Structure 1
Amino acid sequence: MPFKTPSGESAYIREHLMKETDPVLKEMLAFADEHYVPVLLPESAAFLRQIVMLTRPEKTLEIGTAIGYSTQLILRSGGKHVYTIEIKEELIERAKCYLDRAGLLPRVTFFAGDASEILPMAMGQYDFVFMDGPKTRYIEFLPHIMRMLKPGGVLLCDNVLWNGMVTGERETQKSKSTIVHGLDAFLAAICSDPELTTSILPVGDGMSLSIRRR
């Protein structure tokens, strides 16, 4: 399911967050729920919006488009242009449809394929990077992101606590051990990198926020 069962704390937060009223975004959330497409949890979506409102990035790199829900949030919150990577063609087409209906499609550039193949060849400098792709590869993607993240730029990553398994709050399922070890290595890397100032936040399924030092 896109939305994990909330704890009492999460349920309280979601109860107080402003409910989505935009018809396109509401339809996207309904589609994600019906078709088991992972999208941002409500509290994570609110946090993403706030960070984008504060930074107002000219160029955003997004790793993991899915149906374009976070893409739309970035653009609707002050982001100027999003360059987004997605491996599944059917999700790209659906994302394009929703973006077109919202009048946002001209502000998005799609890269279709595996991020592990696209990122090594990617060029340019980005003000903001949002990573919500395959969790086992966060650590693999980091050197490429650092090569393209501007001084003062922001790296925001979702699902970094993986339902409490990374912190040990919940026992790691055997099938999830590779993900948990990968995320643990990634968090250690971004917290120890002298080029980054990083916070790990218990927002949604865990988010990390890193700012590249100027």
Structure 2
Amino acid sequence: MIDDLEAYFRRQTRPQQPERTQVAIAAASDGIPTVGPQLGGLLTLLARFGGVRRALDLGAGNGYSALYLADGMDREGEIVALERDPRRAVAARQNLAGCLPQANVLIGAAQEVLPGLKGTFDLVLLDIEKSDYRFALDHCARLLRPGGLLVADNTGFADAEPFNAALAADSRFRSINLLCLLPGHQPERDGLALAVRA
């Protein structure tokens, strides 16, 4: 084994684009935890590999994660992002402007907005309040197309445990929950769940 694996893999993290760094700095100054460049890069790869044309970002913050999703999507794709804080939603709209022709930021809490969402998505990124993950799971199942991908961040948080248990037992998904080292993520050691809709 390589000596000091964590330090080694931290060094493998590719630098992010300067514009993305500015979005991350703005997020940090506003107290918004970001997924960081490593998980961001994974989101880009998953979107590209899956041919994602329609993505749902639950917990947009200032749009940092959605920018990485957009990097992997077709230019004619669509991102729908949800952010409960109106001020942060404005920042997300500004940051997403021009990344895709169709980037829509909805304002409101997941419990208020999710029941009214329609249509199907190829990928859902779940990164809202962890205590709301279990509530969101049924809506994610409803909104994802068969073969669509659910990516749930922060599954190492105690408040995500009911979601973790429900996802593992849910026959609507084929899932895996991983303990990860994610340099630049807040926190760096956390859980990440990936689930494909049956």
**Aligned residue pair count:** 185
Task: Report the CA distance between 1:27 and its aligned residue.
Answer: 0.6
TM-score normalised by structure 1 residue count = 0.81
Cα 1:202–1:47 shift into 2, 3 Å: farther
Q: Is the 8 A contact 1:61 1:126 kept in 2?
A: yes
Which range moves more in the overlay, 38-47 or 136-145?
A: 38-47
Which residue number corresponds to residue 54 of structure 1?
49
Offset, 1:187: 0.9
* Partner of residue 197, structure 2: 212
Q: Deviations over 1:75-125 (max 9, x none)?
A: 11125211111111111111122223xx22632112111111111111111
Which residue identity does 2:25 align to in structure 1? Answer: A
Structure 2 alignment gaps of length 5 or more: 183-189
Structure 1 unaligned residues grouped into runs of 5+: 1-7, 163-179
How far 1:130 moved relative to its partner? 0.5
8 A contact 1:96–1:105 mirrored in 2: no
Report how far residue 14 of structure 1 moved.
2.3
Aligned to 1:86: 83
1:136-163 superposed Cα distances (whole Å, 9 cap, x missing partner): 000011111111111101000101012x
1:124-135 matches, within 5 Å, as 124-135=119-130
Alpha-carbon deviations, 1:54-89, whole Å to 9, x = none?
Answer: 112111111001010111100111252111111111
Which of 189, 193, 214 pairs up with 2:170? 193
Is the 2:114–2:139 contact (alpha carbons within 8 Å) kept by the matching residues of 1?
Answer: yes
Task: Point out the structure with the larger helix share.
Answer: 1
Larger RCO (CA under 8 A, 6+ residues apart): 2
Question: How far did 1:43 drift?
Answer: 2.6
CA-atom RMSD in angstroms: 1.6
Give the ranges of 4+ consecutive aligned residues of structure 1 lying more than 3 Å apart after TM superposition.
8-11
C-alpha separation in 1, matches of 2:45 and 2:53: 16
Q: 1:139 aligns with which of 124, 134, 143?
A: 134
**Percent of paired sites with the same residue:** 26
Q: TM-score, normalised by structure 2?
A: 0.87
1:4-153 equivalent positions in 2, closer than 5 A = 9-20=5-16, 22-78=17-73, 80-100=77-97, 103-104=98-99, 106-153=101-148
Mapped partners of 1:63, 1:32: distance in 2: 16
Q: Using the TM superposition, name which of 26-35 and 89-98 deviates more.
A: 26-35
- The amino acid that maps onto 2:167 is I
Q: Say which is worse superposed, 138-147 or 22-31, in terms of deviation.
A: 22-31
Contact 1:155 1:210 in 2 (8 A): yes
